[in-house]
Homo-oligomer: A and B are copies of this chain.
Amino acid sequence: MDNLALIGMASIVTAGLTITIGSIGPALGEGKALAQALNAIAQQPDEAKNITRTLFVGMALVESTAIYCFVITLILIFANPFWNYFIEKAGG
């Protein structure tokens, strides 16, 4: 069990957990907003355009926290500076 394997394992497990736990909050938050939007359209059909626009801008903001997690996951898998360091050292 050398260093490279340890760093690799930690990266794999963390990458998976980061995106999976990070998807719970946004999915629930967006679902709630979406549900309320449909309700609002039903109550005030004349404002549907306005409501939908606010909804999608807002959901993009909520989605941004999921994007942060996705970016960190991809960095951990494909551009991990710790892994790169040990690869270099192993290859040196």
**A contact residues vs B (CB 8 Å cutoff):** 1-48, 50-52, 54-59, 61-66, 68-70, 72-73, 75-78, 80-83, 85-87
Among B7, B9, B14, B62, point to the contact of A16 (Cβ < 8 A): B14
How many copies make up the complex? 14
Could you tell me the distance in whole angstroms from the C-beta of A16 to the nearest C-beta in chain B? Answer: 4
25 intermolecular pairs with C-beta atoms under 8 Å apart: A5-B6, A5-B7, A15-B72, A21-B24, A22-B23, A24-B24, A26-B27, A27-B28, A27-B65, A30-B62, A33-B35, A37-B54, A38-B51, A39-B39, A41-B42, A41-B50, A42-B47, A43-B44, A45-B46, A45-B47, A52-B54, A54-B55, A58-B59, A63-B65, A75-B77
Could you tell me the distance in whole angstroms from the C-beta of A67 to the nearest C-beta in chain B? Answer: 9
